[in-house]
Structure 1
Amino acid sequence: MSKRLRMLIVPGMGVLAGVTSGLFGVGGGVILVPLLVAVVHLSEHEAHATSLVAILPIAATGVIVFAFGEGLAWGYGALLAAGSILGAPIGALVAARTDENTLKAAFGAFMIVVGLLLLFG
């Protein structure tokens, strides 16, 4: 696939990530990382880092929409945000020091565990 075609497909991947984020509360990593690796041919490290770029607008837009409806627990959201600010740099540093195959295997295992929790938890 040509670079030009990949550049045309990437915004559609963003739309898919935005829709799944608004619908299920996921999208950045769960949707984008596998697509960026498989379709755009980014390395696992590049895909993880690049997907983070999409998270801010996805999250901001979702918060705005949900703020005008029901279901937004502001107190828990603030606590999650505080924890995320502490955890994100740790995760990024660990990912940067982890080899490609180990990172891919860890992400795959994480996706399986999350899927099982959603199905049976």
Structure 2
Amino acid sequence: MIEIVMFVGLGAAMGTLGGLFGIGGGLVAIPTLGVLFGLDQQLAQGTALLMVLPNVLLALWRYNQRNRISLRNALMLIIPSFCLAWLTSLWAVRLDAHNMRLGFVVFLVILTLFNLIQMYWRKGDFSPELRHPQWLWLLGVGSGVTGGLFGVGGGVIATPILTGIFGASQVAAQGLALALATPSTAITLVTYAVHGHVDWQLGIPLAIGGLASISWGVRLAHSLPERLLRSLFCGFLVICAVVLALKV
């Protein structure tokens, strides 16, 4: 019983960070599960997905209540992302866990650099209509590959790309990113679960704690300046990469 309470509390902490950084908790949970609980990379990713999926569903439902998501644009992202996430996850569950962890560290470093560039990249005026929406499927492909391989990445990289390249407003980008992440997260979780890479006794309490706290993290995020928030996120990614690198 004490362990369950501890797991719920840990899930609440990760859910808060997930809401704060707009990442659903996955980038927080995977390093934590690998370092604190000694899970191999695939098991850490699969268990984190069990926590992330309900968080993303809740965030998508609440977001769509306030800001309607364009179904056409969402489908252009969702269809290729879903297919690529499924195919890539089938490959990911068969990879060597050590190499997977090394690849995840590299992914965190690239993600950090990407966000740092976004901090100083001057963006143009935003418009209700996306620029070059016919190329959204390419973003769906890239997001599906990273989501299927690492269990995270689709929604994390989609928002800055949608604002910086496609000219979406921040709220429109966040809604599309959530819509993009939901189906690919679900199919990736199913794949990992079928191959035994989910710790249900650990993941379910984490999910409960995350659901209880993610909304508070979102409110906290809206109270902070955007540059400070992005700086904190980059610092967090660097810490995760360094800690995981020491475990490789």
TM-score normalized by the length of structure 1: 0.75
Greater relative contact order, per chain length (Cα 8 Å cut-off, separation 6+): 2
Correspondence 1:56 to 2:182? yes
Correspondence 1:21 to 2:147? yes
Give SS of 1:3's match: coil
Runs of 4+ aligned structure 1 residues displaced above 4 Å come to: 41-50
Equivalent residues of 1:44, 1:100 under 8 A apart: no
Give SS of 2:224's match: coil
Quick one: distance in 1 between partners of 2:223 and 2:172? Answer: 13
Equivalent residues of 2:158, 2:177 under 8 A apart: yes
Residue type of the alignment partner of 1:3: L
Tell me by how many angstroms 1:84 deviates: 1.5
Find the counterpart in structure 2 of residue 85 from structure 1: 211
Equivalent residues of 2:148, 2:188 under 8 A apart: yes
Tell me by how many angstroms 1:39 deviates: 2.3
Quick one: distance in 1 between partners of 2:236 and 2:155? Answer: 11
Q: Which string of whole-angstrom CA distances, capped at 9 and with x for unpartnered residues, describes residues 2-37 of structure 1? A: 9341x2333322322222122112114443244334
Higher mean C-alpha deviation, range 93-102 or range 11-20: 11-20
Find the counterpart in structure 1 of residue 42 from structure 2: none
| 1:92-107 pair list within 5 angstroms | 92-107=218-233
Quick one: distance in 2 between partners of 1:19 and 1:74? Answer: 25
Correspondence 1:74 to 2:200? yes
Residue type of the alignment partner of 2:138: G
Q: Which structure is larger by alpha-carbon Rg, 1 or 2?
A: 2
Percent of pairs with identical residues: 30
Quick one: distance in 1 between partners of 2:239 and 2:166? Answer: 26
TM-score normalized by the length of structure 2: 0.41
Aligned partner of 1:3 among 115, 130, 134: 130
The size of the alignment, in residue pairs, is 120
Unaligned runs of 5+ in 1: none
Give SS of 1:109's match: helix
Tell me by how many angstroms 1:102 deviates: 1.3
Equivalent residues of 1:45, 1:96 under 8 A apart: no
Residue type of the alignment partner of 2:197: G
Quick one: distance in 2 between partners of 1:47 and 1:107? Answer: 18
Quick one: distance in 1 between partners of 2:193 and 2:231? Answer: 36
Tell me by how many angstroms 1:42 deviates: 4.7
Tell me by how many angstroms 1:53 deviates: 3.2
Correspondence 1:32 to 2:158? yes
Residue type of the alignment partner of 2:212: L
